[in-house]
A = this chain, B = another copy of it.
Amino acid sequence: MAKLNENFSRLEKNYLFIDIAKKIKAYTAAHPDAKLIRMGIGDVTRPLAPVVVEAMEKACREMGVMETFRGYEDSGAGYEFLREAVSGYYKSFGADVSPDEIRISDGAKSDCGNIIDIFGAGNTVLVTDPAYPVYVDSNIMSGNTVIYADSNEENGFAAMPNPSVKADLIYLCSPNNPTGSVYTAAQLKEWVDYALSNNAVIIYDSAYEAFITEKDIPRSIFCIEGAKRCAIEICSLSKTAGFTGTRCGYTVVPNELVQKDSAGNDVKLADLWNRREGSKFNGVSYPVQRGAEAVFTPEGQKQTHEAIDYYRENAHMIAAACDELGIKYTGGVNSPYIWLKCPNGMGSWGFFDYLLNEIQVVGTPGAGFGKNGNGWFRLTAFGTHEATAEAMERLKKLLK
């Protein structure tokens, strides 16, 4: 008789965005003429950059000609051309990552979930709360024990290590989803020192690094001394270049990242990750890899930054409306997210319903990201200028 993975029954019954989708569906069924403005799910809306489209089209045509057709990649780790490009990108903001430390994947969500496979049972996993639900869910599925570090109003939603707490794996995300908060270099150094002193491994989600504008905020944990001995970094082109539907990301497992096994032998974590991916993954679509390569060309950087600048203007608009209304928030700078305190002591699902029913604006209830999200709410800057402006007008009219 097949035994099932009963850890699945410990998961929260429904995924946050599924609940939201259901509420929206019910509302629009009852109000078919309502003009909803969606500022909930963190999906982009600007199209792919022209250089990316051109590169992908060209690669598709190559696949149709015998001489230029590409089958399996030798290693499945990503073509050299793309790993070189990512390595050069890291260099551009001061992080030294060599191409052989990079594996290309179909996205940060896959790597974030699958990286758990290289770790054994019995790890204590520290997650900052609130957090992207995948960190918790993938660890619960694996039967790991999850503990939390509080990100809250007092610490600007940037939890710091507590030396008396012993963790084996640590998830950090900066710029943060959902709070938009960022770690300074000094703060990250504290986390790196904490990890090194505990022989812990940091899993660092840098999916939003392209939104960083402030010069002293690190774009990668590998800008921090010592990080290559304790951290894995996962990034994606979803937010960098609008690849949410194109699917491409990358994970860096540094060659210096070594841990002891139970017999006291040194094990390179990159070897485990390469073996995991070598057995359960077969590489990313060739045309997608060519599109990703184009992102890192000078023209690609120029074009993709136009979209990021566009979203930044939206973020400023949302932040300005909050300022005007006296609403507290984090994010909006270095981030496409504004994380705001629900007015009048409202709970975050209550505020969700209030905005949906009263002004047909859809956001994301902070409670969906952890207990410290109660009473907080996430708005995203990924819409159009017009829709964002309209939503802020409705908000101001409602709350003034």
Interface residues of A (CB under 8 A from B): 1-6, 8-9, 11, 15, 21, 41, 43-50, 52-53, 56-57, 60-61, 63-66, 69-74, 106-107, 109-110, 112-114, 117-123, 133-134, 137-138, 141, 168-169, 198-201, 242, 244-247, 259-262, 267, 269, 272, 275-276, 278-288, 291
Q: What are 19 A-B interface contacts by the 8 Å CB criterion?
A: A1-B168, A1-B199, A2-B119, A2-B123, A2-B168, A2-B169, A3-B119, A4-B120, A5-B117, A6-B262, A41-B72, A43-B71, A45-B69, A45-B71, A46-B66, A52-B64, A110-B281, A114-B114, A117-B141
* A364 to B272 Cα, complex, angstroms: 25
* A53 to B8 Cα, complex, angstroms: 40
* A110 to B275 Cα, complex, angstroms: 13
Docked-complex contact B53 and A119, CB < 8 angstroms = no
Question: How many copies of this protein are present in the complex?
Answer: 2
* Cβ contacts under 8 Å, A282 to chain B: 106-107, 109-110, 244, 247
Docked-complex contact B64 and A60, CB < 8 angstroms = no
Docked-complex contact B3 and A122, CB < 8 angstroms = yes
* Cβ contacts under 8 Å, A275 to chain B: 8, 11
* A50 to B66 Cα, complex, angstroms: 12
* A107 to B284 Cα, complex, angstroms: 10
* Cβ contacts under 8 Å, A244 to chain B: 71-72, 282
* A244 to B76 Cα, complex, angstroms: 11
Docked-complex contact B1 and A260, CB < 8 angstroms = yes
Name the CB-closest residue of B to A110.
B281
The 9 closest A-B pairs by CB, nearest first: A113-B280, A53-B64, A3-B120, A71-B244, A43-B71, A1-B199, A70-B245, A47-B69, A56-B60
Q: Quick one: which of B60, B141, B200, B285 contacts A2, CB cutoff 8 A?
A: B200
- Evaluate whether A72 and B245 lie within 8 angstroms (CB atoms) in the complex, with A1-B200, A110-B282, A137-B279 already known: yes
* Cβ contacts under 8 Å, A46 to chain B: 66, 69
Docked-complex contact B63 and A272, CB < 8 angstroms = no
Docked-complex contact A247 and B53, CB < 8 angstroms = no
* A234 to B9 Cα, complex, angstroms: 25
Docked-complex contact B281 and A109, CB < 8 angstroms = yes
A243: shortest Cβ distance to chain B, in Å? 9
* A240 to B307 Cα, complex, angstroms: 38
Q: Quick one: which of B106, B118, B287 contacts A287, CB cutoff 8 A?
A: B287
* Cβ contacts under 8 Å, A201 to chain B: 2
* Cβ contacts under 8 Å, A43 to chain B: 71-72
* A168 to B138 Cα, complex, angstroms: 24
Name the CB-closest residue of B to A133.
B279
* Cβ contacts under 8 Å, A73 to chain B: 245
A120: shortest Cβ distance to chain B, in Å? 4
